[in-house]
Amino acid sequence: MIAVLKAGTTQQQIDSLTGWFEQQGLEIHISRGKYQTILGLVGDTTKIDTELLEALDMVESVKRISEPFKSANRKFHPEDTVVTIREDIRIGGGNFQFIAGPCSVESREQILQVAQAVSASGAKLLRGGAFKPRTSPYDFQGLKGEGLALLSEAKKQTGMPIVTEIMNINHLELFEDVDVIQVGARNMQNFELLRELGRVHKPILLKRGLANTLKELLMSAEYIMAGGNNDVILCERGVRTFETYTRNTLDLSAVPMLHELTHLPVIVDPSHATGISRLVKPMAMAAAAAGADGLIIEVHNDPPRALCDGAQSLTPEQFDDVVKSVNRILEAVR
Ligand code: PEP
Ligand code: MN
């Protein structure tokens, strides 16, 4: 980190500032110019509040040279992280996975039918929401504990590990049989929740917030990793823009950019990104071409009657077609 001091800063002021940096365990390199003094700070600067520093009278500007995320940073961990969900199911480092299932678990029949169908098409993980973050309090909120029990039943029947969203850390004891815990877009910056998930020994699927930058996504991953849980899978699910034809705007450049910045696996959710079932296939193929480590796709046995997100849900037949097309892309880009 570099701090440029204002012209006219006294030696006494410099001494007090450098003394404070030294207390934070940093090494300081001072370079004195004719008009300005520049401080180069070496060491772990992640705890330094750049805005606070910039607000000091004697400071003209501050620039970070390295990113504020350490654990997630590829610079300190050049090889890809491979998240092992089960010995034979890994994500990252060349391992690509399809995660599929309904937006919400609605009934025993529904989840079992969808699970069997997506498994037959090649999905290795089953998704399904039991606790649903709905915009309206009057909409279907999920089957909650009963939904989790139905997911367990589908897991038993198909052998597929399950991925489902947590909204409240107090529900954690209900998630014992859950294989991958999802943090939804709306909770990406629920820092208390992230911190608690850092202590959990299960992979976390962290979705990008509706209006969050990649740096913010990585800082949220950092919250989980700082607690000791390094099994974080990042998910690009579209962000809010001025466009209204699609539910969100899929930021596909996030995939190669995140691969540069972090060693964590990156998957794409073309369902929430577009909100329209017929756009899921082209976006899924594009995500695979862009280097995603997997896809999470909503599939429903009867989309027009879905209790949540029917417009973006694929039928099992459509999902089967998507898997085949994506596999052709993967072969072509490998
Ligand atoms: C979901 O996966 O069903 C979901 C609610 O996604 P998001 O948090 O990305 O909106
Ligand atoms: Mn959904």
Residue 309 CA to ligand 2 center (angstroms) comes to 5
Instruction: Give the closest residue to 325 by CA, choosing from 274, 285, 271, 277.
Output: 285
Residue 42 CA to ligand 2 center (angstroms) comes to 45
62 is written with which tokens? Answer: 């501050």
Share of the chain above pLDDT 70, in %: 100
Please check whether residue 278 is in contact with residue 266, taking contact to mean a CB–CB distance below 8 angstroms.
no
Q: What is the pLDDT of residues 18-34, one digit of tens each?
A: 999 999 999 998 998 88
Ligand 1 atom nearest the C-alpha of 103 is 3
Please check whether residue 266 is in contact with residue 297, taking contact to mean a CB–CB distance below 8 angstroms.
no
Residue 164 CA to ligand 1 center (angstroms) comes to 10
Residue 36 has pLDDT above 90, yes or no: no
Residue 66 has pLDDT above 90, yes or no: no
Instruction: Give me the pLDDT at residue 47, please.
Output: 84
Residue 35 has pLDDT above 90, yes or no: no
Measured distance CA(287)–CA(280) in Å, rounded: 10
Torsion from C-alpha of 60, 70, 217, 4, nearest 10 degrees: 10
41 is written with which tokens? Answer: 């700070």
Instruction: Give me the pLDDT at residue 208, please.
Output: 98
Burial class (CB in 10 A: 0-12, 13-18, 19+), 286: middle
Q: Which letter does DSSP use for residue 6 in this model?
A: P
CA atoms within 13 A on the CB side of 268: 31
pTM across the whole model: 0.91
* Residue 255: strand, helix, or coil: helix
Closest ligand to Cα 310 = 2
Cβ of 296: how many Cβ atoms within 10 Å?
A: 27
Check pocket membership of 129 for ligand 1, CB cut-off 6 A: yes
Measured distance CA(167)–CA(130) in Å, rounded: 10
Q: Which residue has the tokens 């030696």?
A: 11
Q: What is the pLDDT of residues 293-323, one digit of tens each?
A: 999 999 999 999 999 999 999 999 999 999 9
Ligand 1 atom nearest the C-alpha of 186 is 8
Q: What is the mean pLDDT of the chain?
A: 96
Mean pLDDT calculated for residue range 98-104? 98
Q: What is the pLDDT of residues 105-146, one digit of tens each?
A: 999 999 999 999 999 999 999 999 999 999 999 999 999 999
Closest ligand to Cα 267 = 1
By alpha-carbon position, which residue is closest to atom 10 of ligand 1?
185
H-assigned helices in the chain: 11-23, 50-54, 108-121, 145-158, 191-197, 214-226, 254-261, 270-274, 277-289, 316-333
CA atoms within 13 A on the CB side of 167: 11
Measured distance CA(113)–CA(101) in Å, rounded: 10
* Residue 152: strand, helix, or coil: helix
At how many degrees (to 10) do helices 108-121 and 145-158 cross?
40
By alpha-carbon position, which residue is closest to atom 9 of ligand 1?
185
Measured distance CA(229)–CA(172) in Å, rounded: 15
Measured distance CA(333)–CA(327) in Å, rounded: 10
Q: Is the alpha carbon torsion for 253, 220, 131, 96 positive or negative?
A: positive
* Residue 236: strand, helix, or coil: strand
Q: What is the pLDDT of residues 273-298, one digit of tens each?
A: 999 999 999 999 999 999 999 999 99
Instruction: Give me the pLDDT at residue 83, please.
Output: 98
Check pocket membership of 300 for ligand 1, CB cut-off 6 A: no
Closest ligand to Cα 236 = 1
**Confidence band of 197 (pLDDT split at 50, 70, 90):** very high
The contacts of residue 94 (CB under 8 Å, 6+ apart) are 80
